[in-house]
C-alpha cells in the first residue's frame, strides 16, 4: 500500500493485519512500524498486530481478533435510496 508492503488488508473495513515475529520488538523496527501505522492511519486504515506465535499456537483466537476488528470497522450494508443505484 503506497510505499509499504502489508501482510493482509481488508479495504472494505480499512483494516491492515500484520503478523509479526520477534524482530518487531527491536527499537529500529518498532520505529519503522510506527511510521507505517501513522501513514496508514492518515488514510483511514487501522493496523492490528498478531504475533507469529499466536497465529500458529492460538489460531482461533487470532482469527476472532481479526474478525472482531473487521466487523467493528465495516459499514453496514444499506440498500440504495429510491432513485440511487442500479
At residue 12's C-alpha, the angle toward residues 64 and 81, to 5°, is 120
Cα(86)–Cα(70) distance, integer angstroms: 27
b/e code 15-51 from CB counts within 10 Å (16+ = b):
bbbbebeeeeeeeeeeeebeebbeebeeeebbbeebb
**pLDDT tens digit string along 37-72?**
999 999 999 999 999 999 999 999 999 999 999 888
Q: Is the pLDDT of residue 86 over 60?
A: no
Helix or strand run (H / E) with residue 31? helix 27-42
Amino acid at each position: 500500500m503506497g510505499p509499504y508492503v502489508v501482510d493482509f488488508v481488508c479495504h472494505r473495513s480499512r483494516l491492515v493485519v500484520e503478523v509479526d515475529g520477534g524482530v518487531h520488538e527491536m527499537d529500529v523496527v518498532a520505529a519503522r512500524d510506527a511510521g507505517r501505522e501513522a501513514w496508514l492511519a492518515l488514510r483511514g486504515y487501522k493496523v492490528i498486530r498478531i504475533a507469529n506465535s499466536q497465529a500458529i499456537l492460538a489460531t482461533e483466537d487470532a482469527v476472532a481478533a481479526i474478525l472482531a476488528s473487521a466487523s467493528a470497522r465495516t459499514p453496514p450494508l444499506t440498500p440504495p435510496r429510491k432513485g440511487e443505484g442500479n
